[in-house]
């Protein structure tokens, strides 16, 4: 079974631009979560989607948004990029909304210049 | 709010030696606990999880962890470390929303293995 796939793996953007990251969960998984990893703040939860609905949201500004499609694939969007948005963005999928473990993708490394 | 503390930022052990990585959590109810490992530039790989039941859980790559409610700890152990175990290890707790979603991670422990 294929794992969680994130595209692209690397991105370089300029301040003020916007960016869209994509995540394809493990086949059959309906929950997708996003995390931001930075050296200063560590791993922080962004949001979770389940069956196309946002179920949980972390403490990030409204510039960070996401969505989930009917095939469970998810995208996250960051608008008006700031230098501090440079990070590794990790996507995780779970089989359902209950008590199951999260499986992570390789991440997308975003650099804002 | 839930939180996780990994007191050791960096640990160095010799290959073949035993390993224990510490994790303390703060959570009101029964937590869902996880250990993940991350190699440089890679995503997180799940080593093991605790949801309920037996407090000693076995994971992949010869790792185990013990849940101790009285100490609010979930320490990771391995009896004999291999050079390939060098990586960063993260303890995480879930359950804030009544499920295992919305993981809160510790700051990580970087493991160095000397030959």
Selecting from A56, A107, A109 the residue whose C-beta is nearest the C-beta of B101 gives A56
> CA of A40 to nearest chain B CA: how many angstroms apart?
10
- CA-based angle A42:A29:A11, to the nearest 5? 45
Chain A contact for B34, CB < 8 A?
A: yes
Name the strand (E) or helix (H) holding B26. strand B24-26
Position B27 confidence tier, pLDDT thresholds 50, 70, 90: confident
Pairing verdict, β A64-68 and A10-13: unpaired
Provide the token pair at B56: 């000693």
Cross-chain residue pair B100–A100, CB shorter than 8 Å: yes
Residues 6+ positions from B87 with CB-CB distance below 8 Å: B37, B38, B39, B40, B110, B111
Q: Could you report the per-residue pLDDT of A16-44, keeping only the tens digit for each?
A: 999 999 999 999 999 999 999 999 999 99
Give pLDDT, residue B20.
Answer: 98
Cross-chain residue pair A45–B41, CB shorter than 8 Å: no
Q: Could you report the per-residue pLDDT of A57-102, keeping only the tens digit for each?
A: 999 999 999 999 999 999 999 999 999 999 999 999 998 756 678 9
Answer yes or no: is pLDDT of B86 > 60: yes
Chain A contact for B25, CB < 8 A?
A: no
């Amino acid at each position: 079974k294929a794992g969680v796939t994130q595209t692209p793996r690397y991105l370089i953007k300029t301040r003020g631009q916007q960016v869209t990251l994509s995540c394809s969960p493990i086949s059959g998984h309906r929950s997708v979560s996003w995390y931001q990893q930075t050296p200063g703040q560590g791993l922080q939860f962004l949001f979770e989607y389940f069956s196309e609905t946002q179920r949980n949201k972390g403490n990030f500004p409204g510039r960070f948004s996401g969505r989930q499609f009917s095939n469970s694939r998810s995208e996250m969007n960051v608008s008006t990029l700031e230098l501090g948005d440079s990070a590794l963005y990790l996507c995780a999928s779970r089989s359902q909304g209950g008590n199951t473990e999260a499986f992570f993708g390789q991440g997308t490394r975003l650099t804002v210049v | 709010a839930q939180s996780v503390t990994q007191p050791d930022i960096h640990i160095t052990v010799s290959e073949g030696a035993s390993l224990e990585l510490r994790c303390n959590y703060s959570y009101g109810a029964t937590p869902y606990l996880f250990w993940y490992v991350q190699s440089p530039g890679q995503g997180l790989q799940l080593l093991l999880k605790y949801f309920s039941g037996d407090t000693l859980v076995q994971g992949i790559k010869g790792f185990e962890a013990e849940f101790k409610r009285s100490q609010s700890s979930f320490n990771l152990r391995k009896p004999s470390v291999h050079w390939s175990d060098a990586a960063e290890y993260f303890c995480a707790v879930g359950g804030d929303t009544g499920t295992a979603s919305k993981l809160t991670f510790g700051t990580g422990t970087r493991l160095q293995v000397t030959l």
